[in-house]
Every structure is written in structure tokens, then in C-alpha cells.
Amino acid sequence: MINSVRGTRGMAVAPHALAAQSALAVLREGGNAIEAMIAAAACIAVVYPHMNSIGGDSFWLLSVPGKAPGAIDACGAAAQAASIDWYRERDITSAIPFRGGIAANTVAGTISGWGAALQLSQQSLGGRLPLSRLLADAIHYAEQGIPVTRSQTVNTRNKRAELEPQPGFAQSFLPDGDVPETGSLFRQARIAATLRQIAEAGCDDYYRGDLARSIATDLAAIGSPLTLADLQAHRAQLRDPLRLQHSAGEVYNMTPPTQGVVSLMILGILDALQSQQLKPDSAEYVHLCVEATKQAFRVRDRHVTDPAYMQIDPQQLLDPSHLRQMASNIDRQRAAPWGRGKGPGDTIWMGVIDGQGRAVSFIQSIYHEFGAGVVLTQSGINWQNRGCSFALDEAALNNLRPGRKPFHTLNPAMARLADGRSMVYGTMGGDGQPQTQSAVFTRTVGFGQSPQTAISAPRWLLGRTWGQSSETLKLESRFDPALVTQLRQWGHEVEMLQDFDETVGHAGCILRHPNGVLEGGADPRSDGAVAAF
């Protein structure tokens, strides 16, 4: 049994221990939660390069005691040249490829999010640490090398055949022409130089400076539709997060184009079903969580897209009467039919709460592992393939349009509970994100489990995972066999996973109690840790 970590002056959780420790070092130097998260975001992009990079997108939820929570949308839009006709001209008519320059069709917004967050820190929280300090650990690890994780080794080996032919991939991720072994030192000299340039010139240089011009040149060379004008037009946007009024308090998540509303709908449906009265290790509990997920996914697939194109206010989907109606559609002893989800996605989630209770829930991604698989020659940036989520069908909800934001599975979460506690939590994993969020929230808030217990407990995932076409209900094998049998009897198509399976995501959670004590848990399925003082 792994116990939760406790502290009072600050806490960070990340799926890689070095990122959590980078955040903690900033907190120890008097930095606030936002500054600590910028340091962690830079560090995780270097030490977990198969899961995220500075060529992806990010989303932030921000909370300061006594003030309404805020959010940062650092999602890039499709290139102005990217259109259904552009792909048809290249004989691509059914779906946008997952890999290659033509998959790199949206601006990478994450660095703009770092810049917007730093500005908020300086203007509203008295932040004083320079960007050069916040990126120092990441620069060091990129330059001097990181110990390769098993996760990086396995992901590189599994995807080598499809990624090795992509521009720049082998040079960056196959040192000496082979998959880096776990524990070996992995250096990223070009990323170190790029991060140093950002530290010196500022985050805006990525979009409107020398770095932007370098990026645009390299994107053109690999056949991407993105141009310098697309980079120059990009800005991170401040948002008001979505809010669910839950019986335990207020729960917040990110606005569209993310599926944050899905995560909140699942919790609202479970609240209406009074799931907290069930046993946390029962088939009834897992069944209701899965059935609530199906209800929420159907709404998602009808409505959630770039907010500029939505026909409904997403906050309306969280109306109590709407949630009760969805709850009433659930049969407590029969699995509803299930079609297709949005599929997998590799990402990182991290959380920070500082000694004054200021909190950040953060997520950063390049979508599939290694994104589009392309690495830019001059900067060493691995570009995302988030735009392959666009449809090439004019009638589809998320059809491709120039300047349109892609649908995102990403969604960071936080809560302010009625008992005085506050909470940041989240996970990686595409369709699994709202499902794992429901497990972490209901186990900690509904059943009173510690964050570490809630995260370590066996989990489930409805839908596809990497390299699979099955839409089964996947369960970690630590579940009681009687629970598995019962779920099958109720009509679930069950598939068993390993005991602690990375498929179900890398979750994390920090609770702040009314007395100021911080309590956190990290996922044993990851290379993560909770760092506190």
C-alpha cells in the first residue's frame, strides 16, 4: 500500500518525478503555483517526450482562494491553407493521416499558454521569477540528458515502424539508429537551444520572432500547410471554465473545444444516481460509471466542437434537469448499446497547489504518441497531430475548416468542495480522461478514499486503445472476478488488461484541506511522483 504524500507549504504532482520536483524547487524559492507549473510544463516536455512536447497544445485551470476560477485556452487552430479541398488535391478523401507533414496542420499553442500564464502570475499574483529560471531545469535535462523511462522505450519500440520514415524522427528519437534503452541517457541538444531562445526572447518569439520564422521554414519543408502567418495570428485566450453544481460542491473543467463538459456530465449523472451510496468495489458502481459515460459521450458527439461552431451553450448541458434526464435513461442492470468513441490520445496532466491555496490544473499534449512523428530540423520540435481529429466530410460535426480549432480530448479538472476542501485532478488518455476523472473524483469525494488509494485502485476504460479496433469495456485484472462476471451478465463486452496498465491513464490528484494540509497521490502506472514540503 502506497500512502498519500502530505505537506503544508506547497505540492506538485506529475507523471514524471523530475517534473514534480522542478515545480517544487520553484515553490521553495518563493514562486507561486503558476510559476511552478510553467517549470513543470517545460520539464515534462523534455523528460516525457513521447507523451508531449513544445509542439503541442495545452489548457490551464487556475484558482485563487476568494476569486472565481479562470482558464487559459492554448489550443492552436487549423492552418488557413488547411481545407477539405487541400487534402482532396493530395488524393486524401476519407481521413487525415495520423503521421507526417500533412498531419501537422494546426498551430502548436502550448508556448502561448506558458506566456499567458506568466503574465497572469506577474500581474495578479506578484510573480517575480524570470522565465529563464522557470525553464532552467528543462534546458539542463535537454542538454545533459535524461534517464530514459520504460514508457519511452516501449512506446518508441512499438511505433518505430510507422514513425522512423517521418522527417526528423530517427535523428531525434533513435540515437545511434536504435530505440533508446531504459536507463540510458537521452539528449536533445536542439530542444535545449530552442528552450534557451524562448527563455531569452520570451514566449512570443515562438509565434512572431526568429523562432517563428525558423518553425515556418521547417514546416513548409515537410509539406505542412502551416505558414508564418498562421503562427503570427495565434494568441492564447482567457476563458471562464465550465461549472457543475454537485451535491459535494462545485466542480470545474475546461470549455470546448475540449471534452471538459463530458467529464462534468458524467459526475452530474452519477450524482443524480446517488452513486456514493454504493460500495466502491462493487459491480454496480463500475456499471453506473460506464453507463454515465455512454450517455455523456452521445451528447459530446452531437454537440462538442470549436465553440465558434457550437449550436448550444455547453453550460446548458450541465443543467440539473438535463443531467437527471440522462440519469433516467440508465438501466441499473443492463448495459446500453455502445458504438464508437473518439479513440486514444497520449497526454500529460499535472497539478500544483501552493502554500496560499493557489491552484493549477494543467494538461499538455501532442495527441498521439510522438504527435505527427515529424521533428523540425532547426528547432528539434516534435509537432502535434491534433488536426487529424478533423473530418473530411462536409456534414460532420468537426469538419475541417481553415482557422477552426480541433476537438480536444484534453480536459483539466478542479473542485471546490462544500466541506472547505479544494482539489485538482486529471489524467492522460483520450476517451479514458473523463472516465478516470470520474473514478478519482467519486472515490475521493464520494467514498472518502485518500488520493493515493483512489488512483491506485483498479480502473476501467470503455473504448479503443492504441493499436486496437475493439470498443470493449477494458478492466484491470485486479478487479474481483465476481465483479467481472456480473458486468458480463449485465451485457458488457469485457476485456481484461494487466494489473497496473498504462492504458487506463496516468492520473494525479491533490487535495487541500481546510487547515491548509495538502494531500496528494500519483499514479503507479506512470513514472510520476508527488513532491511536497
Considering its fold, how many domains does the chain have in total?
2
Q: What are the residues facing 521 on neighbouring strands? A: 509
Q: What are the residues facing 529 on neighbouring strands? A: 14
Q: What are the residues facing 243 on neighbouring strands? A: 252
Does residue 400 fall inside a structural domain?
A: no
Contacts of 172 (CB under 8 A, 6+ apart): 188, 190, 375, 380, 382
CA atoms within 13 A on the CB side of 434: 34
Does residue 131 fall inside a structural domain?
A: yes
- Give 471-512 pLDDT, tens digit per residue: 899 999 999 999 999 999 999 999 999 999 988 989 999 999
pLDDT, the chain, mean: 96
Please give the span between the terminal C-alpha atoms of the chain, in angstroms, as a whole number: 22
Alpha-helix runs per DSSP H in 341-480: 432-441, 451-456
pLDDT at 469 > cutoff 60: no
Catalytic residue (choose from 110, 153, 347, 453): 347
Does residue 248 fall inside a structural domain?
A: no
- Judge if 341 and 368 occupy the same domain: no
Distance of CA 144 to the CA centre of its chain: 27
pTM: 0.97
pLDDT at 205 > cutoff 60: yes
3-state DSSP assignment of residue 327: helix
pLDDT at 79 > cutoff 60: yes
- Judge if 83 and 203 occupy the same domain: yes
CATH code of the domain containing 326: 1.10.246.130
Over pLDDT 90: what percentage of the chain?
94
Cα torsion at 288, 268, 525, 43 (round to 10°)?
A: 160
Does residue 408 fall inside a structural domain?
A: no
Q: Which residue range is the domain that position 188 belongs to?
A: 5-238+349-389
Catalytic site includes residue 347: yes
pLDDT at 222 > cutoff 90: yes
Task: Kindly state the cell numbers that stand for 42.
Answer: 517545460
Question: DSSP assignment, residue 444?
Answer: I
- Judge if 372 and 504 occupy the same domain: no
Which residue has cell 475548416? Answer: 401
Helix (H) / strand (E) containing 245 = strand 242-246
Does residue 412 fall inside a structural domain?
A: no
Q: What are the residues facing 250 on neighbouring strands? A: 245, 416
- Judge if 258 and 303 occupy the same domain: yes
Q: Cα dihedral sign for 409, 428, 283, 279?
A: negative
pLDDT of residue 93: 96
How far is it, in rounded angstroms, from Cα 397 to Cα 401? 11
3-state DSSP assignment of residue 467: coil
- Judge if 143 and 263 occupy the same domain: no
- Judge if 358 and 433 occupy the same domain: no
- Judge if 35 and 102 occupy the same domain: yes
- Judge if 86 and 198 occupy the same domain: yes
Which residue has cell 458502481? Answer: 285
- Judge if 192 and 119 occupy the same domain: yes
Does residue 394 fall inside a structural domain?
A: no
How far is it, in rounded angstroms, from Cα 36 to Cα 232? 27
- Judge if 232 and 169 occupy the same domain: yes
How far is it, in rounded angstroms, from Cα 429 to Cα 369? 11
Does residue 94 fall inside a structural domain?
A: yes
224 phi/psi in degrees, rounded to 5: -75, 145
3-state DSSP assignment of residue 21: helix
Residue after which a domain boundary falls, among 389, 408, 442: 389
- Judge if 227 and 300 occupy the same domain: no
pLDDT at 345 > cutoff 80: no
- Judge if 232 and 264 occupy the same domain: no
